[in-house]
Structure 1
């Protein structure tokens, strides 16, 4: 059974320094700035956005999908990224998470803080055994982050990289809840 994740999780999730709010179209201009950065887009497996309309369309698509949800990340009143649930793996009852920050906020400990809080909410509110993240092998920062949080490399697969338009290896890191 697929739970409508958009309704199961809280509207707002707060950590010590940051706030995650369900993503809305009002966030499109700020998220566009992040998603149009080629270094960010490369690790998101998306084509670099060139218009705000693309950000709006992505937000509409995510919000229309019952098995997905996205949160916009705020530092004070500034939007610095997003994170959320991308899909459900019904075979092993896990869910895929995805995340990104604006480049100027990399390596400041924000994503460790965010994922710790987000994973706690997922474990509390959703009936899944764990989570997984797909990571490009050269994304050493994301791999280090996931390993620090207890994720383990479980598998690798080949997928079309929408950024490079080539088939590439993707690592799948998983964390099972206790």
Structure 2
């Protein structure tokens, strides 16, 4: 699936995108916001990034041929501890030089429009650290509803959870 917006192309990421993806995720602002800074071993980081690139829900945000961000969709764990096809969890990040220009809003809007046409997907959940005001504002603009606030058990920081119902 490839999505074209006014300024961007959103498409599945693959192993061919590894060099640009590694550069993107190694930027300090992206690294800390996405939790990549929690992995100290370079081989583990490389392995984790390649797993993400092979995942069916990994989308790159391209401006021309340049990878400027990513949206990662994962099946949420449902009742009984099994992946739930109907409910997705979304992570996203953008190169800092593209912040505050509407690119992420444009990309997520395009992806949501595409997912609304997918009969299986009923909702998308996004988790954001409380201190990430821009990301929280983005989710609110995109009509995600506040669900709860909690302490992240791995990072030890407060985060908020938002959900968008598609059906």
Counterparts of 1:1-178 in structure 2, within 5 Å, are 10=1, 12-47=2-37, 56-62=46-52, 69-91=57-79, 93-161=86-154, 166-178=155-167
How far does the alpha carbon of each residue in 1:105-147 deviate from its partner, in whole angstroms, 9 at most, with x for none?
A: 0000001110001011122125122111010000001000000
Flag structure 1 segments of 5+ consecutive residues without an equivalent: 1-9
Q: Is the 8 A contact 2:61 2:69 kept in 1?
A: yes
Larger RCO (CA within 8 A; separation ≥ 6): 1
How far does the alpha carbon of each residue in 1:25-69 deviate from its partner, in whole angstroms, 9 at most, with x for none?
A: 12111111221111112221222778986564234323555xx51
CA distance in 2: counterparts of 1:101 and 1:81, whole angstroms? 4
> How high is the TM-score relative to the length of structure 1?
0.80
Give the match's secondary structure for 1:146. Answer: helix
CA distance in 1: counterparts of 2:46 and 2:95, whole angstroms? 18
> How high is the TM-score relative to the length of structure 2?
0.84
Aligned residues: 162
CA distance in 2: counterparts of 1:109 and 1:129, whole angstroms? 25
Tell me which stretches of 4 or more aligned residues in structure 1 moved more than 4 Å. 48-56
Flag structure 2 segments of 5+ consecutive residues without an equivalent: none
